[in-house]
Amino acid sequence: MMRRNISISNFHIVLITQTGVIYYFMETFSKNKVYVTRKIPEPGPSILNKYFQANMNPEADILDRDTLLENVKNVDALICMLGDKVDSNVMDAAGPNLKIISCYSVGYDHVDIYEATKRKIIVTNTPNVLANTTADLTFSLILSAARNIVNADRHVRIGNWESGWSPDLFLGYDVNGSTLGIIGLGEIGTLVAKRARGFDMQVIYYSKTRKRQMESELDITFVPLEELLRRSDFVSIHVLLNKDSFHMIDESKIKLMKKTAFIINTSRGQVINEQHLINALRNKVIAGAGLDVYESEPISSSNPLTQFAQTVLLPHIGSATFKTRSKMAEVAANNIVNFFNGRGIVHKIN
């Protein structure tokens, strides 16, 4: 029997020849340490355990800062998620071995990308897998806000539905045939536009870069941001948070919207100046809002947004389905595996 060890990066492949047959298997001796800041679903943990010395916070709850700083010590790779502020302090606490930060999310505004890049630490995310799920949730916010779904449900539950059908009970706004304005035509924005076709909506969009091919494929029209705000019945936000998009929607922009229009946000809360939105809702400048994200999360029940009947408020659940969270775990884990073995896709963002 001939036995040969070939080391590929941190992996060992053992080739065994026996009566002309070649068997190979991957040994899982890797000494690389991975830490996962909050419990993620399978197959994430199994993938990591197969190849690394992996440790995971057994709870889905966020770690307090001191525990996070302690637990990342000497790791080679980190899986982090929204709410973890991965800044220079975390990178210092991890130490010089840290080579990759894998975000269990498509958004990466919780990681200091500048600092990571300076230290030659790769940052990755989980694109593709959550786009359809988030587009679905965007549409449920459009429908719920326009048709009073949440208020009407509460009305039934608390026993207020006393007079049967009524000509003016929970009158709302039509989604079908209305104009949808999409801000940011990335993956999620595009999938929202696709869904809008089923509702015979006219779709206009604004994006930093114009996507001419999409315009003909989806029958959508590029317009400047101001025009989009003036014309839309529903304005749906799908941009990444960065210095250009921070407070992109403020008082001056909200004022351009129709009194009967709704603003929908499933991207990042800081894209809207929340105080300006609250003022606009209070003064009935627009008809309502469907929000999955907020300037600071979680919001408390005393946040003025909760006082309005014309808001639908969700606790940042855009990608929250069993299937999608599992896919995200797989991609986040494989980003690390592929990075160390030098093969396969690594969704790098820096």
Residue numbers of the site for ligand DGY (CB under 6 A)? Answer: 82, 105-107, 130, 318-319
Our answer to whether residue 147 is catalytic in this structure is no
CB-wise, 106 or 183, nearer to ligand DGY?
106
Beta-bridged to residue 15, according to DSSP, are 4, 24
Nearer to ligand DGY, 76 or 84 (CB): 84
Q: Cβ of residue 116: shortest distance to ligand DGY, in angstroms?
A: 17
Those residues whose C-beta lies under 8 Å from the C-beta of residue 235, and which sit 6 or more positions away, are: 181, 183, 228, 229, 249, 257, 261, 262, 263, 264
Please indicate whether residue 268 is annotated as part of the active site. Answer: yes
Q: Which is nearer to ligand DGY, 131 or 289 (CB)?
A: 131
The total of other beta-carbon atoms located within 10 Å of residue 153's CB is 11
* Shortest distance in whole angstroms from residue 297 CB to ligand DGY: 10
Q: Which is nearer to ligand DGY, 69 or 82 (by Cβ)? A: 82
Query: Closest approach of Cβ 325 to ligand DGY, in Å?
Result: 8
3-state secondary structure of 254: helix
What element of type H or E holds 261? Answer: none
Which lies closer to ligand DGY via its Cβ, residue 82 or residue 313? 82
Query: Cβ of residue 106: shortest distance to ligand DGY, in angstroms?
Result: 4
Q: Give the nearest distance from C-beta 60 to ligand DGY in angstroms.
A: 13
Judge contact between 121 and 96, C-beta under 8 A.
no
Rounded to the nearest 5 percent, the helix, strand and coil shares of the chain are: 35, 20, 45
Task: For residue 193, count CB atoms less than 10 angstroms from its CB and return exposed for 0-12, middle for 13-18, buried for 19 or more.
Answer: buried
**Residue with the two structure tokens 């020849």:** 17
Q: Which C-beta is closer to ligand DGY: that of 27 or that of 297?
A: 297
Q: How far is the CB of 196 from ligand DGY (least distance, A)?
A: 21
Please tell me the distance from the alpha carbon of residue 50 to that of residue 27, in angstroms, as a whole number: 9
Among candidate residues 268, 276, 325, 347, the one labeled active-site is 268
Q: How far apart are CA 309 and CA 170, in angstroms?
A: 11
d(CA 47, CA 49): 6
- Got the DSSP string for 88-154? HHHHHHH-TT--EEEESSS--TTB-HHHHHHTT-EEE---STTHHHHHHHHHHHHHHHHTTHHHHHH
Written as one letter, the residue type at 115 is E
Between CA 204 and CA 209, with CA 207 as vertex, the angle to 5 degrees is 125
Catalytic residue among 276, 316, 325, 347: 316
Q: Length of the chain in residues, anyone? A: 350
Judge whether 157 counts as a catalytic residue: no
Integer CA distances (angstroms), 168 to 82, 93, 142, 299, 340, in order: 42, 60, 21, 32, 62
Of 127 and 172, CB closest to ligand DGY: 127
* Residues forming the active site: 268, 297, 316
